[in-house]
Amino acid sequence: MRARIYGAWGSGAGCWGTTWRCEGMSTDLSLVDGEPTKSEALGPPAAFPVDAELLDAYSRAVSGVVELAAPAVVSVEVQHRRRGGAGGGSGFVFTPDGFILTNSHVAHGASKTEIAFADGRRLRAELVGDDPDTDLAVLRVDASSLLAVPLGDSGALRVGQVVIAIGNPLGFQSTVTAGVVSALGRSFRSVSGRLIDNVIQTDAALNPGNSGGPLLDSRGNVIGVNTAVILPAQGICFAVAVNTVKLVVGHLIAHGHVRRARIGVGGQNVSLPRLAVRAHRLMQPSGVLITTVETGSPADRAGLQPGDIVVAFDGQPVHGIDDLHRLLTGERIGATTTVAAVRKAERLELPITATESAKPKP
């Protein structure tokens, strides 16, 4: 019986009939009467050069992005009087005249903020505005002609697309990790209780300190702002999509906060009785049960009462509190519309004029 031992570049040895592949061998050997004899020299498998080219292209893409974007990534160092001690995170320059993006949970309430640049410079920064509802904040330093990274288009992302994260995890500055877009359209609840919509899920490794750093595509465009990690899990990280960032940044620069509407109720999500759904021809099986109504609020003036179940606002179905939050945008401030509510067996259509939410406290 003759068997041939072939060189292999795989992860282990396998056997097909009389053929053996043994890892690490570089020559072709024949077994004759149990003794190996040297035969022809073998080269690597035909696929090896292709894999090497792909690996090299991936490496060039990642290193090229880092070369372009890393100088614009900064370390955000903050001090808090109320909390005591210091903290920090990451950020990045997005305009040459000194505007910097980071997370609200990094910058909010800081008594002093310093920015450490990749070239060693350290500058004091002022808080232009922050929005806990989307966990975004804008800082500004007194500098000009800074290297900035461009904001891309998160709407063009695809699951499986390569992404690169740059930040300062655990105090290690200018750390680079790469991965792929794991999922799109996720929702993540912010510290304020509102849902952040259209969040990007990625497996690019993030750790405390990465917060506020950029998530970039292979062209070096920012497609998200890294915001959170699920600590018990591995490889489940989230970034606020850059299309959301663009909307929020305009408000923060113009007003210092994001203008949102309010109607002055407290509530909870509840299921609607089937009879009520059929009787009122509702589009959804749930709504918002009003538990409190603020005196003098838009809801109070409209005639809403505790026990009412809100099922629509401005003609749009309301399945729960998150739907109501999404509908109470800045454009609703001062605009008269209608709110639909179920009160016992009756459906009410009430005119209501939302007012502006209070600016977040520093």
Q: Residues with catalytic annotation?
A: 105, 135, 211
Phi, psi for 66 (deg, rounded to 5): -60, -45
Residue with structure tokens 């073998």?
A: 42
Instruction: Name the phi and psi angles at 68, rounded to 5.
Output: -80, -45
Neighbours of 308 (CB within 10 A): 25
d(CA 225, CA 308): 39
Q: Which residues are bridge partners to 326 per DSSP?
A: none
Please name which of 128, 149, 123 lies closest in space to residue 140, comparing C-alpha atoms. Answer: 128
CA distance 98 to 144: 6
**DSSP state for residue 315 in the 8-state scheme:** T
Q: Do 252 and 129 meet the contact criterion of CB atoms below 8 Å apart?
A: yes
- In angstroms, rounded to a whole number, what is the distance separating the alpha carbons of residues 139 and 136? 10
Q: How far apart are the first and last CA of the chain?
A: 83
CB 5 within 8 Å of CB 20: yes
